[in-house]
Amino acid sequence: MKILRKTYLAAALTSICFAGTVHAQDVTWENGEIHTASLMMSEPMMKVDGGYHELLDSYYLKPMMTEDKVVMAPLDDIIDELNGDFSFDGEKVTIGMNGKTVSMTAGSATALVNGKETIAPAAATLVEGALYVPFKFVFEELGGKYSWDSKRKLAKVTLLRPEGSIFKAKKGKISLKTIEKQSDDWYGSEEAKAVADAMLKNQNPDGGWFKVGSSNDLSQVYDRDTFPTYRQKSTIDNDATYIQIMTLAKVYEKTNNEAYKESAIRGIEYLLEGQYDNGGWRQFFPNSEGYHRHITFNDNAIANTLNVMRDVASQKGEFAFVSDDLASRAKASMDKGLRFVLDNQVVVDGKKTGWCAQYNVDTLACERGRSYELASISGDESVKVIKFLMSIENPSAEVVESINSAVAFLKAEEIPGKKMIKTPDDTMEFGVNRVVIDKEGSSVWPRFINLENLEPLYSNRQGDKLDKFEDVSYERRVKYSWLVTSPGKLFKNDYPKWQAQYSSDVNALN
């Protein structure tokens, strides 16, 4: 983020022209940083300082435009990302930032701006429980500058916030991408203890952890005052809670620090408490709204959780500290989860395939996740489910059949002779493009598979059903993995070893 200093004041005023007067209690040019927030009119997304987030977390709400061309949107999470003040009682919203406040009530165009009545260009409107307010009006009253990109149908505001008031994630050597690659000895190192100490401080009161970026420094302690509130919810998404429990148990094994053990136990209790009666787990709990209520295999959420339950139940290795009671409860949880897995393997034309990325909590039908994660069979997450099933000692005939049918299905979904790569392209927004090339000896698999015809399924942030990778919008093409290679690794390494031991008469790869 660019820090604005006094020496640049004249140029900044000319080019940015912030509305209103900067008062003593407001952000000053000496301590202010420039931030941006954008709305894409056809997408249920916001973009704050280059980072994409759902417009309203776990809902499919999009900005809208009135007949008078006024852009309207719920601002709950945008204000949270910008570390402003936001309150909403179901009818009235009050927003505060930089010493200014704006209040609006559903059905009325009368706004209170710093306590004085002002007529907004459109009335606040309730849509599916969210209050839509005029985007330009609110942010200009808060001291921002508004612009409209007619070509991209994009509404943007630029404004000042106090330097350091907005959360910044740090990149680190030890991250979700690297921690499971560490040697066993590493878990007794000072570096590991620093990571574990941060995990203690980042644990939520309910025992779970919030998700972080895959490259974020795991030794970073998150400032709850600047880290957006809606992103602090406990979850099993993106390896959250799973990775903390596994790490803390391993560091405890090396250090005997009781704090690590107690934190891991609280995490295990959180997972036990969050399991549905049918054996599944939702993505976020206990604070579940929108699609976060649904049972999710996406990002290996349930597979990771079942792996924790399996290891806790065993009382072996780093989980030797687990009490008999906790181990027994974990075993019951794993058995219930296993039953859900076996009962909900998708059947198409009488044949078992893989598993949905998500299941509707009420009907157990395949369900979409985010707007571009359509209801489908997962070609990636199914791999982690298969690996969990293969970890079961002395598997039943039902488990063996489930594994073989899923492997045979993924083998049939292979796209041979292709490879997905990123290529440098300075003309594009992110400096790269992602393309699929011909590559002899390589194979890819679709992450999402159409339930109707078992063909690859793609989408964009608008939620359109697409048949070709090339039709995916640029941002989603570069920033999301639509084609994966995990089944190939399963076929080469894990499955042959398991098949030789437990399924010598059936090889699903033949």
pLDDT band at 32 (very low <50, low <70, confident <90, very high): confident
* Average pLDDT value for residue range 265-275: 98
Q: Cα separation of 294 and 281, whole Å?
A: 8
The full length of the chain comes to 510
pLDDT band at 375 (very low <50, low <70, confident <90, very high): very high
* 498: DSSP letter: H
* Average pLDDT value for residue range 321-325: 98
* Average pLDDT value for residue range 270-284: 97
- Report the pLDDT value the prediction gives residue 21, as an integer from 0 to 100: 38
Average pLDDT of the chain, as a whole number: 93
Does residue 374 contact residue 463 with C-beta atoms inside 8 Å?
A: yes
- Report the pLDDT value the prediction gives residue 29, as an integer from 0 to 100: 58
Q: Cα separation of 342 and 403, whole Å?
A: 10
- Output phi, psi for 93, to 5 deg: -115, 140
Q: pLDDT digits over 138-185, tens only? A: 999 999 999 999 998 999 999 999 999 999 999 999 999 999 999 999
Q: Cα separation of 387 and 495, whole Å?
A: 8
CATH class for the domain made up of 167-343: mainly alpha
- Report the pLDDT value the prediction gives residue 231, as an integer from 0 to 100: 97
Q: Which pTM was predicted?
A: 0.91
Q: Is the dihedral angle over the CA atoms 189, 191, 194, 198 positive or is it negative?
A: negative
- Report the pLDDT value the prediction gives residue 9, as an integer from 0 to 100: 29
Does residue 442 contact residue 488 with C-beta atoms inside 8 Å?
A: no
- Report the pLDDT value the prediction gives residue 31, as an integer from 0 to 100: 76
On the question of pLDDT at 122 being above 60, the answer is yes
On the question of pLDDT at 20 being above 90, the answer is no
Q: pLDDT digits over 377-424, tens only? A: 999 999 999 999 999 999 999 999 999 999 999 999 999 999 999 999
* Average pLDDT value for residue range 108-118: 98
pLDDT band at 24 (very low <50, low <70, confident <90, very high): very low
On the question of pLDDT at 25 being above 70, the answer is no
504 vs 20, higher pLDDT: 504
Number of Cβ within a 10 Å radius of residue 1: 13
pLDDT band at 26 (very low <50, low <70, confident <90, very high): low
The segment(s) of the chain belonging to CATH 1.50.10.20 are: 167-343, 350-510
Q: Cα separation of 288 and 291, whole Å?
A: 8
Residue 408, SS3 per DSSP: helix
Correct CATH for 350-510 of 3.90.1010.10, 1.10.3720.10, 1.50.10.20, 1.20.120.1200: 1.50.10.20
pLDDT band at 23 (very low <50, low <70, confident <90, very high): very low
Q: pLDDT digits over 414-448, tens only? A: 999 999 999 999 988 889 999 999 999 999 999 99
